[in-house]
Amino acid sequence: MAKTRTQTIGAVRRTFSPWTDATATPLIRFENVVKRFGAFTAVNNVSLDIYEREFFALLGPSGCGKTTLMRMLAGFEDPTEGRITLAGQDLSGVPPYRRPVNMMFQSYALFPHMSVADNIAFGPKQAGMAKADIDARVEEMLTLVKLESFAKRKPHQLSGGQRQRVALARSLATRPKVLLLDEPLGALDKKLREETQFELMDLQMELGMTFLIVTHDQEEAMTVADRIAVMNHGVLVQVDPPAAIYEQPATKYVADFIGDVNIVECVVDGCFGGDLRLSTPITPHPLQIAQGDAGGVKTGDKVWLAIRPEKLRISLEAPDAAAGNCFAGEIFDIGYLGDLSVYHVELPCGTRIKVSQPNLSRMVERPISWEDKVYVTFTPHAGVVLSR
């Protein structure tokens, strides 16, 4: 059952990419939106298109303006500059209660004087639904968030994670066109979070809603989102599908923010078609990197080479010269994470490189140990050259 669902999601998702289609009209448009609080600029010149049925994730460090961006879309803040449109309609001056946008608040904002069921029924009641339909909807939402037996409780009688689920159910109950989720699953344990993620994706697909989700959990963003926007200091740094964000980060910042990465400062020695030769003080040998279109860098430029730890290979024997790029160093630390181990390799110049290797066997004695002399190798396609 779960498998068929995942398969349908996969089938739809493989072909869902309206952002590459020049003729597609976005559902939500941020046009040069700026938000200032006094002299502080919380959101700085954001232009962003979000398409119908898209599951869009906002990632970024605390205080970078994610909530502010959502609050402008929900109608609680007015943009200082620029405009926001929804299905072609300019939203400026439209009060929150007239926008087909619901928000799940970061602080939940559950009504303390109402029971769980009444909290969930609040939206449908305002929409003027019939009593029987409201009851059915509440029931359905309670089942979705697995709180069937808590309908009569007041919010203060619930745990943090249960409250979060009530807030989620409440925001979903009116089936809004656009749902804004501000860290919807942060308080849930890993298992429940993963289940709820799939439930959300399912629901989104089934009801054809557009989701905008804020999360601090990259894995979650990668799992649920069609596209991810990485924000920093109120600016959108990169907007791309998860794989592109991970494998083709636009800047050092994105590479560093999403997942683990080794960043090595280099100078371009020469360009040969799409391939680059880089020299770096951390190794005497030049590095060969395949960079498709060379990314507009030229000989003599200062660049950064970003390589993910899992794309490096580690060995105790010296590789032959044909194996490609190579660093020699010494094991400084080993982090055992169960499914994989992370080796911290210290190079002679003092730089440390992280290498992760899957633990393929159940051997308790690892062949590589502290203070071993090791060689780290990688192919020309393993890293990406960044100029910012």
Ligand X SMILES: Nc1ncnc2c1ncn2[C@@H]1O[C@H](COP(=O)(O)OP(=O)(O)OP(=O)(O)O)[C@@H](O)[C@H]1O
* Binding interface with other proteins (CB under 8 A): 74-76, 95-97, 101-103, 105, 107, 109-113, 122-123, 126-127, 154, 156-157, 170-171, 174
Q: Which of 67, 171, 196, 262 binds Mg ion (CB under 5 A)?
A: 67
DSSP state of 318: P
d(CA 154, CA 305): 54
Exposure string (b/e) for 161-183, b if CB count within 10 Å is 16 or more? ebbbbbbbbbbbbbbbbbbbbbb
72 closest CA partner among 90, 52, 53, 54: 90
379 closest CA partner among 338, 323, 340: 323
Q: How far is the CB of 42 from other proteins (least distance, A)?
A: 17
Q: Segment contacting Mg ion (CB under 5 A): 103-111, 190-198, 299-307, 362-370? A: 103-111
Q: How far is the CB of 165 from ligand X (least distance, A)?
A: 19
Which positions lie near ligand X, rule CB under 6 A? Answer: 37, 40, 42, 60, 62-68, 106
**Cβ nearer to other proteins, comparing 104 with 287:** 104
3-state SS assignment for residue 36: strand
d(CA 143, CA 165): 11
248 to 242, 256, 280, 295, 383: CA distances (angstroms): 10, 12, 21, 11, 9
**Cβ nearer to ligand X, comparing 154 with 233:** 233
Contact in structure between 347 and 283 (CB atoms under 8 Å): yes
Q: How far is the CB of 78 from ligand X (least distance, A)?
A: 12
Q: Dihedral (C-alpha) 266, 269, 272, 275: value to the nearest 10 degrees?
A: -10
Residue 55 partner contact from ligand X, other proteins, Mg ion, none using kind-dependent CB cut-offs of 5 to 8 Å: none
**Cβ nearer to Mg ion, comparing 184 with 249:** 184
**Cβ nearer to ligand X, comparing 35 with 177:** 35
164 closest CA partner among 179, 146, 140, 177: 146
Q: How far is the CB of 32 from ligand X (least distance, A)?
A: 18
Number of chain residues interacting with Mg ion (CB under 5 A): 2
Going by their DSSP bridges, the two strands 55-59 and 227-232 should be labelled as parallel
**Cβ nearer to other proteins, comparing 171 with 356:** 171
**Could you tell me the two tokens for 357?**
């290797």
Q: How far is the CB of 220 from ligand X (least distance, A)?
A: 14
Q: How far is the CB of 201 from ligand X (least distance, A)?
A: 22
DSSP state of 105: -
What is the largest distance, in Å, between two alpha-carbon atoms of the chain?
A: 76
Contact in structure between 45 and 34 (CB atoms under 8 Å): yes
**Cβ nearer to Mg ion, comparing 23 with 107:** 107
**Cβ nearer to ligand X, comparing 80 with 377:** 80
Q: How far is the CB of 68 from ligand X (least distance, A)?
A: 3
Q: How far is the CB of 170 from other proteins (least distance, A)?
A: 7
Residue 42 partner contact from other proteins, ligand X, Mg ion, none using kind-dependent CB cut-offs of 5 to 8 Å: ligand X
**Cβ nearer to Mg ion, comparing 163 with 308:** 163
Residue 111 partner contact from other proteins, ligand X, Mg ion, none using kind-dependent CB cut-offs of 5 to 8 Å: other proteins
Residue 383 partner contact from ligand X, Mg ion, other proteins, none using kind-dependent CB cut-offs of 5 to 8 Å: none
Q: Which residues bind Mg ion (CB under 5 A)?
A: 67, 106
